[in-house]
Chain A
Amino acid sequence: MQRIQHDEADRTHELDESSPFAPQTPQEVEEMLSAIGAESVEELFDVPEAVAFDGDFDIEAKSEFEVVTEIEELLGRNADRTEFLGRGHYDHYVPSVVDYLSLRSEFLTSYTQYQPETSQGFLQALFEFQSMIVELTGLPVANCSMYDAATALGEAATLSARVRDTSGSRVLVPETIRSERRSVLENYADGAELAVETYPLADGNADLDALAELIDDDVVMVYAESPTTGGAIEERLSAVATLADDHEAAFCLGSDPVALALLQEPAAVGADIVVGDASVLGLSASHGMGLGLFAVTESYLRQAPGRLVGTSETADGRRAYTLTLQTREQHIRKERATSNICTNQAWVALRTAIHIASLGASGLSALAEESVTTAAEAAARLDDVDGVSAPVDDRHHFREFVARTDRPAAEVVSELAEQGFLVHEVGEFEIQVCVTETNSGALDDLVAAVREVLA
């Protein structure tokens, strides 16, 4: 096999069979073998012959250029469409400074901060991420390591069951919750022997009467979202919190950092836990990759999952940062551990923090306000189209809203896609449209296309 990249290089140990990322020269390999007292590298493998693999994977090695070219070609098969998609995952513009700073090798190729003295930079960045979430939620404890909104919700449910004084087995969620999010929640709930049930909505917000009927002392957690999956701002959070509180159930609120910059603080409406996806700032659409937002009230601190960064002092009296409260964790009390979360999304948390820092309080607030005005404007413009009424719910909206169409939604969605625009189909005659700064420039074209499709 000819490998243009390394055949010329003398830093490869075996010219035909080498990894470009292993630096040993043939001479060094010999020296090392002789130091070990072995004849060959093969001798070092202690694998019984019966289970040894001597076949091929049939994966052909390629040059860097060939790989990049191949992947460019593959990804180029993603059709060029303007997305007006949301429902829990949003595309906001990520400032260039986020890439430049987060891609610094000192951040990118570091690991869990087991040695805090030499990891102060990342620890401080994570501490600041936690702090930003604390400011946004009003809750005093935020972690920095959950995967996404759905898994954070799953952890919230099992946490609620653990901190409750009496046992209980039910978790209540809105009927409009994304089915995928509910499925993840059910997988977490199942292991903890909890059952997930839904409560209905009335005109896009929680149906309080129905919720009051459903809730009893067996409920460990009530979950509500604001904005809802349909993009409506939930106006009854305090009432939901009170209902939960009356039955000693935790109240868990789903939101995101942009919405929280504008909406009433979760702590002020009685939230015990806030979950959501924080990577709405920091990552592009990324095919759904995320960062779980997770903040809790003080009394949940010692049962909370995930990594926490706290301050401490150095021997010479300077403020420093360290992972803390690790006594809760699986690497210390593995037999009693209740969550397997490590530092997994730390780098995304760094990106989110840099994004929030670069927007600043005023930029983040402006983005949040814009999310209300553009949703309202887009709904009004679609409502002007014959055959469309928007928004369906008589509520305030954030980024997105549901619209009713005279023609079947499946046909509308498919014809819009042919014209270059992707929107959600959410009911037989309902579509959902999400507008942020990344697609608002195409709103005129979308409205024109909807007009044509509905004509």
Chain B
Amino acid sequence: MNYRQATWERETESGEAVNEPLLSEKRTETVTHDDVDLPDELVRDELTLPEPAEPEVASHYTRLSQMNYSVEHGPYPLGSCTMKYNPKFTEDVAALEDGAIHPDRPDEYAQGTLAVLHGLQEYLAEIGGMDAVTLQPPAGAAGEFTGLLVARAYHRSNDEDDDRREVIVPASAHGTNFASAAMAGYDVVELPSDEDGRVPVDALEEAVGESTAALMLTNPNTLGLFERDIEEIAEIVHDAGGLLYYDGANLNALLGRARPGDMGFDIMHYNVHKTFASPHGGGGPGAGPIGVVDELTEFLPDPHVREADDGSFEFSEPPESVGKVHGFHGNWLVLLKTYAYISRLGDAGLKDTSAMAVLNANYLASQIDLDVPYGPFHHEFVASAGDVDAAEFAKGMLDEAVHPPTTKWPEIVDEALMTEPTEALSKDQLDVLADAFTAASQKTPEELAAAPTTTAAARIDQTSAARNPRLSWRDVEEAVEEVDE
């Protein structure tokens, strides 16, 4: 397959070679506010911004779009990111005028929105096997932070547990786990991986104690492996007085097959944008609802939607709420799309999702001529690029009409290529992807260094970007002026 991104070669007025010029290089305007009824000292002297006509706006962003890879261009197998097809009808649902209401509307005038939120809370509680769900966290990482705030509030409510200052995180966990724990004021205890890629139960037993607040676990983990000892792990953590936290990044592999609540998890977050396919354009927006077991419900963020005796819905503040983690009610449009997606699939569709995601991952793993340690895999696996630098390997894959996997992570596997095909890829597409692995593995170091050649931009020097940060039009202008001098 040959795929070439659009390129739009041009020189700016200063002679710099660019793809599409910046808006600021095309047409700008400086305006002043002479007629406004405000004292001069409150008003800015002038404002300079682009002043394109609508056709120019349309062609600028259309060209930019054509220099961007997407799920519909081809495989996008970024491990742990669950980049799958996003059904189109959810966009129409999100555009419904009746859903575009102000967050401060009194509940009685927002019954429709509240009904959707309540319905989604119920769906997610059922899918996760949790007792209660809150939808407020606006991202997966925000869900982690919120979950830890709930854990902290719970421990604080038990006076003798107030000094539980540690959160245990396996080495294979998502980087955000560490940061979320730190944000909530916890010290992180890192747990190495066992020889079989899973949490070492012995080491866990040694790590837990009176200062353990929680263990954060992804299951299946980032190697795509199910933590088979989960019951024992839960018992160890609970016996030590800690809570078990489920990172929902890989829930797509378990839909309808196993539920975090049934495995002994006390708190979990859902990456609804991954598991339930709302588009995360450029990385977002997502949403990170959290589910908790009964004894933690009272600590959920304010507000939480509940059904009143008369069947109406209302926002209510749980009695010992941790407060708020978003200024309003979270990322409503993402939540609405999630509700639509789950409604569309139903039980059978959800179960089928995990079945096909797991099938696709195992099939693809079997077709790749690289070392793929561990197994069997749930919806992702980690191949090793071996002697080749994984980042270089990825550049080689870019020329094969696919997006490469997540690279160099988790660090448990040398030169890791963390691959998640999702259920949305057909066998055809999986074969294309497998061929891309093969093609990249056959390239010489020189060929890899010269890649990519089919993308809108050739290899980009990321080191110099960090050494000499140019972060805005102003910086670009200055740089151009310096060259001219």
Contact = CB atoms under 8 A, between A and B. Distances in A.
Nearest to A5: B344
A184 to B, nearest CB: 5
B250 to A, nearest CB: 13
27 contacts: A21-B84, A22-B352, A45-B358, A46-B228, A46-B376, A67-B340, A78-B109, A83-B101, A97-B54, A106-B66, A109-B85, A110-B68, A116-B460, A116-B462, A120-B457, A121-B64, A151-B138, A285-B100, A287-B113, A288-B327, A289-B331, A319-B16, A320-B460, A337-B182, A347-B280, A347-B283, A422-B105
Contact of B471 (A24, A114, A140, A422): A140
Interface secondary structure of A, over-half rule: mixed
A135 interface: yes
Interface stretch (B202-210, B291-299, B423-431, B435-443): B423-431
A20 B349 contact: yes
A130 B352 CA distance: 41
A364 interface: yes
Contact of A187 (B105, B256, B323): B323
Contact of A265 (B44, B92, B343): B44
Contacts of A268: 44
Contacts of A136: 47, 49
B57 to A, nearest CB: 5
Interface string A29-72: 10111011110011011111011110011111111100110111
Most buried by B among A59, A120, A151, A287: A287
Contacts of B142: 147, 151, 340, 344
Given A36-B363, A53-B258, A125-B64, A417 B330 contact: no
B328 A180 contact: yes
A105 B282 CA distance: 11
A19 interface: yes
A343 B229 CA distance: 34
User: Which 10 pairs, one residue from A and one from B, show the smallest C-beta to C-beta distance?
Assistant: A288-B328, A343-B283, A61-B346, A288-B103, A346-B282, A150-B327, A121-B68, A347-B281, A77-B112, A121-B64
A23 B430 CA distance: 12
A330 B285 contact: no
Interface in B300-317: 302
B460 A314 contact: yes
Contacts of B336: 71
Contact of A290 (B9, B129, B327): B327
A433 interface: no
B84 A338 contact: no
A78 B348 contact: no
B302 to A, nearest CB: 7
B231 A50 contact: yes
Nearest to B343: A67
Contacts of B85: 21, 109
A70 B141 contact: no
A192 interface: yes
B68 A118 contact: yes
Nearest to A318: B17
A235 B225 CA distance: 59
Interface string B70-82: 1111001010010
A373 B348 CA distance: 56
A245 to B, nearest CB: 19
A156 interface: no
A327 B466 CA distance: 9
A132 B49 contact: yes
B58 A101 contact: yes
Interface in B3-53: 5, 9, 16-20, 22-24, 28-31, 33, 35-39, 41-44, 47-52
Interface in A183-216: 183-184, 186-188, 190-193
B18 to A, nearest CB: 5
A20 B346 CA distance: 11
B385 interface: no
A259 B48 CA distance: 15
A244 interface: no
Nearest to B73: A106
Interface residues of A, number: 192
B398 interface: yes
A78 B113 contact: yes
Interface string B450-466: 10100111111110111
Contact of B346 (A60, A85, A283): A60
A310 interface: yes
A311 B479 CA distance: 10
Most buried by A among B110, B129, B378, B471: B471
B362 interface: yes
A331 interface: yes
A331 B175 contact: yes
A231 to B, nearest CB: 14
B359 interface: yes
A318 B106 contact: no
A100 B43 CA distance: 34
Most buried by A among B20, B144, B323, B472: B472
Contact of B52 (A178, A337, A357): A357
B103 A285 contact: yes
A169 interface: no
Contact of B332 (A31, A44, A289, A373): A289
Given A114-B78, A284-B100, A311-B465, 8 more contacts: A48-B228, A97-B57, A112-B81, A117-B455, A124-B64, A289-B333, A334-B179, A337-B179
Nearest to B332: A287
B475 interface: yes
A420 B176 CA distance: 45
A372 B33 CA distance: 12
A449 interface: no
Contact of A121 (B67, B343, B406): B67
B53 to A, nearest CB: 8
A62 B119 CA distance: 15
B432 interface: no
Contact of A128 (B23, B30, B33, B455): B23
